[in-house]
Structure formats: structure tokens, C-alpha cells
Amino acid sequence: MGTAVSARPEVSIIIPARNEEVSLGACLNSLEGQSGVEFEIIVVDDGSTDKTREIAESFAGIRIVTPGPLPARWTGKNNAVVAGARDACGEWLLFTDADTVHLPGSLARALTEAKQNRADLLSYSPEQIVMTFTEKAAMPVIFSELAAQYPPEKVRDQSSGVVAANGQYILCRREAYEMVRGHTAVAEKILDDVALAQAFRAAGYRIYFRYGADAVRTRMYRKWSELRDGWTKNLALLFPRPIRLASWLLGAWIFSGFMLLVGVAGAKTGSWRLGCCVLPSLLLYTRIARAQFRTGTNVIAICFGIPLFAYLLVRSRNMHRGDGVSWKGRTYSTVSESPKPGNRLLSESAGVANK
């Protein structure tokens, strides 16, 4: 195991975990086997009622931290990572989720990449693993729209005004993190990763962001209720005009489907006419394919995912305008986080562009 043998490891890996018995073991296995850099692993048990703590305790050398009581208006995740960062010893801090799996050698490569790009904060958007029908239908559409609106190359341009980070993988210099007051400064934010990146950028620190399939992968949601609630929490904050986006996509989906039916029905009238009728569907497929899912998954997404995404957009908007959103047994007010038109932000899991 690559945990620290010296007084101060180079990297402290901080994993907030609340009822993560399904995924935590695989995450810790993948991190425990990292090499090429001295590191420590800290699991923050955020009030779990399942076997999360027991699983963490089964790994020798891993420290387990229990956060203090949840302060008023703080999110549970922010309270957890603040506790983990307070207990960390590393010069660099890696915040990563319990549902991630890290490829061999990825930690050392990420640290090298951060240093080579003079980044104070490096963030990867993981490869997304999808298994169920609803995952395959919704996730490619969601990620393609996020990739279209928030290209990582613009995030890497420090003067572009586009700020992004993915909370599933944030590696940052401890000194810079402490200078911006870390997650304490964004403790009330549901989109804490974006808010943290904004704080870094506002303080003049350099951010480097890209799609990181070569480093980390994740399966975000394993059933429909998790997917629904997770994206309800985020979508209205990611897209400043969710109803307009839902309407546009539904219109494009209906039109492409209608033209495809017309083309099939009139196939005998000439190949050029059939080609014209198929073109809208091909353009829509190309748009979805940018999210880098497999072809079969993209086909499911183009057939069923757009109306599902539209539903999630509307539901998210309505919940954010109502009493708040719920996640993992906690309800958060969203009044202070209502997005403004033109807001150029990218949130967690929102960077699966292919550059």
C-alpha cells in the first residue's frame, strides 16, 4: 500500500461516505494499489447506517474520520470533506467520491499532470458506467448537453470565464485550498465543486479540467430513484433555462422521429429523399455521441433519453422553485442557488466532453 511512510505524505485522499457499502470496497481497493507517490487515505463516515464504516475498517492503514454535527445550512458532503481536510497531512488534497474506481498509477499521473500544467486545482470528469435501461437512456443525453455547453478546453482557458470542476475527482494544492478557505467557504452550496473552482479562479489560481477516462470511472446511480433525485438536485443549477432546453430538445426529437417515419414510408420514392428524412436523426445522434458512450447505448438514448431528460429538467426546475431538494435523507433549501440566465458554470459529473 502506498500510504505515507514519512511524516507528511505528498497526497491526502479524502473520501466522504454516507451509506456507500455497495461501492466503497472497490473504491478503496483501487486507491490502495496506487504507486509512484506517497499518500494517505481518509474515509469520512458521514452518519452511515449501513456497513460503510465496517468496510473502511477492514482496510489496514486507512484512517476513518467522523465529522461533527451538521451546521445549519451546510450540506452534508461539505461538512464531511471539511472534516477530512482538517485531518489531512498531505501537500496535495484529492477529494474523490466513494463510487469511483481509480485506474492503476492514475494518482501519480494526475499529480504529474497538475504540476506540468501549473495547476492549483486539477479535476477529471470520470468515465461513466451505465447498466440499467434508465441509466443508458438518460445519461448520454445529459452528458452530451453538458459537454456541448461547457467544453473543457474553455475551462482550461483561464480567461474564458467558464469555470468547472467535478466533485468526483478534485486534486488541489493544499496551500491554495487553505488560502481560499476550502469547502468552508462554499459550505452552503449544493454545487460545491463549481463554487470551489470559482473561489480558486477568483483568487487567481489556475484550474485544469478534462475528461478523465484514463484515470477514473464511476457508476453514479444504480437505480431510477437515485438517478431521478441526483439529477433533480443538479440540473436546474447546471442549465439556467431548463424549460427552454427541454422544449427545444423535445421539438428536435419529435421532428427527427417524424421525418424518419416519412422517409421509411416513402423509401421507394428515391434514396436522396430518404437521406434527407434520415438526416435530422443522424444529427441528433451525432450530438448525443459526443458524450463518448457506446453505440448501442447512444441508440437507446436517442430513442428514449430525450423525453426522460426533459422530464428531469422540468422536475428539477420545479423542485428548486419549491421547498428544496432532497438527497440521502437530507433536504436542502435552494433559494440562494437559483441560477441566473447566462450563468456559465459546470457542476459535478458535467464534463464528459471528448477533449
pLDDT at 160: 87
Cβ neighbours of residue 17 closer than 8 Å, sequence gap 6 or more: 24, 43, 44, 45, 46, 48, 52, 56, 80, 98
What pLDDT does 266 receive?
64
Tracing cell 511524516 back to the chain, one arrives at 7
pLDDT at position 279 is 84
- DSSP states along 83-107: HHHHH---SEEEEE-TTEEE-TTHH
CA distances from 300 to 60, 133, 144, 293, 338 (A): 43, 8, 14, 11, 32
Which residue stretches of the chain have pLDDT < 70?
Answer: 1-7, 264-275, 335-355
pLDDT, residue 326, reads 84
Task: Give the tens place of pLDDT for each residue, 196-211.
Answer: 999 999 999 999 999 9
CATH 3.40.50.2000 fits 11-126+166-222, yes or no: no
Residues making up the chain, counted from first to last: 355
Give the 3-state secondary structure of residue 18: coil
- Domain ranges in the chain? 11-126+166-222, 130-150+223-326
The CA distance from 355 to 59, in Å, is 36
CA distance 40 to 62: 7
60-83: burial string, b at 16+ Cβ within 10 Å, e else: eebbbbebeeeeeebbbbbbbbbb
